[in-house]
Amino acid sequence: MRLKTSALIALPSALLLALSLSACGKETATTASTGSSPSSTAGSSASSTDKATRNNSDGASAGSSSGADNARTVSIHDLQTGDCLSKMGPESTDGGQSTAKATVVDCTAPHQFEIVGEAESTATSLSEATAPQAIVDTCQPVLETYVGSTKQAAGYRIGSLNPNQSSWDQGDHTLTCFLQAPDDNPLNKSAKDS
Protein backbone atom coordinates (compact mmCIF):
# COMPACT_ATOMS: atom_id res chain seq x y z
CA MET A 1 0.00 0.00 0.00
CA ARG A 2 1.41 3.40 -0.98
CA LEU A 3 0.83 6.26 1.38
CA LYS A 4 0.05 9.67 -0.09
CA THR A 5 1.60 12.97 0.93
CA SER A 6 -0.89 15.70 1.68
CA ALA A 7 1.05 18.94 2.08
CA LEU A 8 4.44 20.47 1.42
CA ILE A 9 6.39 22.77 3.66
CA ALA A 10 9.83 24.22 3.10
CA LEU A 11 12.86 22.84 4.89
CA PRO A 12 14.79 25.33 6.97
CA SER A 13 16.27 28.05 4.82
CA ALA A 14 19.80 27.10 5.90
CA LEU A 15 19.31 23.68 4.32
CA LEU A 16 17.87 25.28 1.21
CA LEU A 17 20.92 27.51 0.90
CA ALA A 18 23.33 24.67 1.62
CA LEU A 19 21.80 22.47 -1.04
CA SER A 20 21.14 25.09 -3.71
CA LEU A 21 23.42 24.67 -6.67
CA SER A 22 21.69 26.71 -9.30
CA ALA A 23 25.01 28.08 -10.52
CA CYS A 24 25.81 24.60 -11.82
CA GLY A 25 22.59 24.30 -13.82
CA LYS A 26 21.55 21.44 -11.57
CA GLU A 27 18.05 20.25 -10.96
CA THR A 28 16.15 20.01 -7.68
CA ALA A 29 15.53 17.21 -5.26
CA THR A 30 12.40 16.97 -3.21
CA THR A 31 11.65 15.32 0.08
CA ALA A 32 8.17 14.13 0.79
CA SER A 33 6.31 12.42 3.58
CA THR A 34 6.25 8.65 3.33
CA GLY A 35 3.71 8.13 6.06
CA SER A 36 0.70 9.54 7.77
CA SER A 37 1.95 9.36 11.35
CA PRO A 38 1.37 12.54 13.39
CA SER A 39 5.08 13.37 13.40
CA SER A 40 5.46 12.93 9.64
CA THR A 41 5.58 16.11 7.62
CA ALA A 42 6.53 16.80 4.07
CA GLY A 43 8.95 19.29 2.66
CA SER A 44 10.95 20.24 -0.35
CA SER A 45 14.51 21.33 -0.75
CA ALA A 46 16.83 22.28 -3.52
CA SER A 47 19.67 19.90 -4.22
CA SER A 48 21.40 18.65 -7.27
CA THR A 49 23.29 16.05 -9.11
CA ASP A 50 24.43 15.32 -12.60
CA LYS A 51 24.77 11.60 -12.36
CA ALA A 52 26.00 11.12 -15.91
CA THR A 53 29.49 10.72 -14.51
CA ARG A 54 28.55 8.72 -11.40
CA ASN A 55 31.37 6.48 -10.29
CA ASN A 56 32.84 5.15 -7.08
CA SER A 57 36.33 6.48 -6.42
CA ASP A 58 37.08 4.65 -3.18
CA GLY A 59 34.37 2.01 -2.73
CA ALA A 60 34.10 2.69 1.00
CA SER A 61 30.75 3.21 2.65
CA ALA A 62 29.96 5.30 5.69
CA GLY A 63 29.54 2.17 7.78
CA SER A 64 33.28 1.54 7.60
CA SER A 65 34.11 4.73 9.50
CA SER A 66 33.92 5.17 13.24
CA GLY A 67 32.11 8.35 14.25
CA ALA A 68 32.12 11.91 13.02
CA ASP A 69 35.91 12.11 13.51
CA ASN A 70 36.26 9.95 10.41
CA ALA A 71 33.98 12.12 8.30
CA ARG A 72 34.95 12.35 4.66
CA THR A 73 33.81 14.71 1.94
CA VAL A 74 32.86 13.08 -1.35
CA SER A 75 31.20 14.07 -4.58
CA ILE A 76 27.50 13.29 -4.52
CA HIS A 77 28.23 11.20 -7.60
CA ASP A 78 30.17 8.79 -5.37
CA LEU A 79 27.48 8.19 -2.75
CA GLN A 80 26.56 4.58 -2.08
CA THR A 81 23.55 2.87 -0.51
CA GLY A 82 23.98 2.96 3.26
CA ASP A 83 26.03 6.17 3.35
CA CYS A 84 24.99 8.48 6.19
CA LEU A 85 25.46 12.18 5.48
CA SER A 86 25.87 15.00 7.94
CA LYS A 87 25.38 17.52 5.13
CA MET A 88 25.07 17.98 1.37
CA GLY A 89 25.87 21.12 -0.51
CA PRO A 90 28.08 23.01 -2.92
CA GLU A 91 31.83 23.24 -2.53
CA SER A 92 34.06 25.52 -4.58
CA THR A 93 36.66 24.01 -6.85
CA ASP A 94 39.87 25.62 -8.05
CA GLY A 95 38.12 26.94 -11.16
CA GLY A 96 35.53 28.75 -9.06
CA GLN A 97 32.83 26.34 -10.24
CA SER A 98 30.56 24.93 -7.59
CA THR A 99 30.36 21.15 -7.29
CA ALA A 100 28.00 19.10 -5.15
CA LYS A 101 29.65 17.49 -2.14
CA ALA A 102 28.43 15.47 0.81
CA THR A 103 30.00 14.81 4.19
CA VAL A 104 29.78 11.08 4.86
CA VAL A 105 29.93 10.01 8.52
CA ASP A 106 29.55 6.77 10.41
CA CYS A 107 25.86 6.03 10.86
CA THR A 108 26.28 6.04 14.65
CA ALA A 109 27.27 9.72 14.45
CA PRO A 110 24.57 12.38 14.08
CA HIS A 111 23.52 12.65 10.43
CA GLN A 112 20.74 14.34 8.44
CA PHE A 113 20.40 11.98 5.48
CA GLU A 114 20.90 8.30 4.65
CA ILE A 115 21.17 6.94 1.11
CA VAL A 116 18.66 4.08 0.74
CA GLY A 117 19.28 3.13 -2.91
CA GLU A 118 18.50 4.02 -6.48
CA ALA A 119 15.32 3.71 -8.49
CA GLU A 120 14.49 4.20 -12.15
CA SER A 121 11.77 6.77 -12.80
CA THR A 122 9.08 5.85 -15.30
CA ALA A 123 8.08 9.48 -15.77
CA THR A 124 8.13 10.97 -19.26
CA SER A 125 9.88 14.19 -18.21
CA LEU A 126 12.30 15.33 -15.53
CA SER A 127 9.79 17.79 -14.10
CA GLU A 128 7.23 14.98 -13.82
CA ALA A 129 9.84 12.68 -12.21
CA THR A 130 10.78 15.25 -9.58
CA ALA A 131 7.27 16.16 -8.46
CA PRO A 132 6.90 15.30 -4.74
CA GLN A 133 4.37 12.52 -5.25
CA ALA A 134 6.39 11.05 -8.14
CA ILE A 135 9.45 10.87 -5.88
CA VAL A 136 7.40 9.07 -3.23
CA ASP A 137 6.05 6.69 -5.88
CA THR A 138 9.55 5.98 -7.23
CA CYS A 139 11.52 5.84 -3.96
CA GLN A 140 8.95 4.37 -1.55
CA PRO A 141 9.62 0.73 -2.54
CA VAL A 142 13.37 1.32 -2.18
CA LEU A 143 12.86 2.87 1.27
CA GLU A 144 10.59 0.02 2.41
CA THR A 145 13.13 -2.57 1.32
CA TYR A 146 15.96 -0.67 3.01
CA VAL A 147 14.23 -0.24 6.39
CA GLY A 148 12.47 -3.61 6.24
CA SER A 149 8.77 -2.72 6.30
CA THR A 150 6.08 -0.28 5.25
CA LYS A 151 5.44 0.54 8.92
CA GLN A 152 9.09 1.50 9.53
CA ALA A 153 9.20 3.52 6.29
CA ALA A 154 6.29 5.65 7.50
CA GLY A 155 8.59 7.20 10.11
CA TYR A 156 10.81 8.92 7.54
CA ARG A 157 10.70 11.58 4.89
CA ILE A 158 12.12 10.56 1.54
CA GLY A 159 13.89 12.57 -1.12
CA SER A 160 16.05 12.08 -4.16
CA LEU A 161 19.11 13.35 -5.93
CA ASN A 162 18.14 13.71 -9.57
CA PRO A 163 19.90 13.85 -12.92
CA ASN A 164 20.07 17.27 -14.55
CA GLN A 165 18.09 17.92 -17.73
CA SER A 166 21.00 17.05 -20.03
CA SER A 167 21.53 13.68 -18.34
CA TRP A 168 17.79 12.99 -18.36
CA ASP A 169 17.66 13.72 -22.09
CA GLN A 170 20.51 11.24 -22.61
CA GLY A 171 18.52 8.49 -20.86
CA ASP A 172 19.60 8.76 -17.21
CA HIS A 173 16.30 8.45 -15.34
CA THR A 174 17.82 7.12 -12.12
CA LEU A 175 16.95 8.81 -8.83
CA THR A 176 19.22 8.34 -5.82
CA CYS A 177 16.80 7.98 -2.91
CA PHE A 178 17.59 9.20 0.60
CA LEU A 179 15.72 9.36 3.89
CA GLN A 180 15.69 11.87 6.72
CA ALA A 181 13.82 12.36 9.97
CA PRO A 182 10.40 13.99 9.51
CA ASP A 183 11.26 16.69 12.06
CA ASP A 184 14.71 17.49 10.57
CA ASN A 185 16.40 16.31 13.78
CA PRO A 186 19.61 14.35 13.27
CA LEU A 187 19.48 10.57 13.14
CA ASN A 188 21.93 8.69 15.40
CA LYS A 189 21.86 5.23 13.89
CA SER A 190 21.29 3.61 10.55
CA ALA A 191 17.71 3.06 9.47
CA LYS A 192 18.71 -0.13 7.62
CA ASP A 193 16.50 -3.03 8.73
CA SER A 194 15.15 -0.91 11.57
**Highest-confidence range of 42-46, 73-77, 113-117, by mean pLDDT?**
113-117
Residue 50 lies in a domain: yes
Q: What is the pLDDT of residue 99?
A: 75
Q: How far is CA 121 from the centre of its chain?
A: 15
33: domain range? 9-54+111-180
Tell me the average pLDDT of the chain: 73
> How long a stretch of residues is the chain?
194
In 10 A of CB 49, how many CB atoms?
Answer: 29
Q: Between 171 and 30, whose confidence is greater?
A: 171
- Give the model confidence (pLDDT) of 4-55 as tens digits: 333 332 233 223 323 333 223 234 355 555 443 222 223 333 333 344 333 2
Nearest to 102 by CA among 57, 71, 130: 71
Query: Is 90 exceeded by the pLDDT of residue 161?
Result: yes
Residue 88 lies in a domain: no
Task: Confirm if 49 and 100 have CB atoms less than 8 A apart.
Answer: yes
Q: According to DSSP H, which parts of 89-178 are helical?
A: 126-129, 132-147, 150-153, 165-169
Write out 140-153 in H/E/C secondary structure: HHHHHHHHCCHHHH
- Give the model confidence (pLDDT) of 78-94 as tens digits: 999 999 999 988 765 65
Helix or strand (DSSP H, E) at 30: strand 29-33
Residue 19 lies in a domain: yes
- Whether the full predicted model's pTM is greater than 0.85, yes or no, is no
Residue 92 lies in a domain: no
Nearest to 147 by CA among 50, 67, 35: 35
Residue 64 lies in a domain: no
Residue 22 lies in a domain: yes
Q: What is the pLDDT of residue 89?
A: 83
How far apart CA 52 and CA 54 sit, in angstroms, is: 6
Q: Between 2 and 186, whose confidence is greater?
A: 186
Q: Between 166 and 11, whose confidence is greater?
A: 166
Residue 95 lies in a domain: no
According to DSSP, the β-strands at 43-45 and 9-10 are parallel
Number of domains composing the chain: 1
Residue 80 lies in a domain: no
How far apart CA 50 and CA 151 sit, in angstroms, is: 32
- Give the model confidence (pLDDT) of 180-189 as tens digits: 999 999 999 9
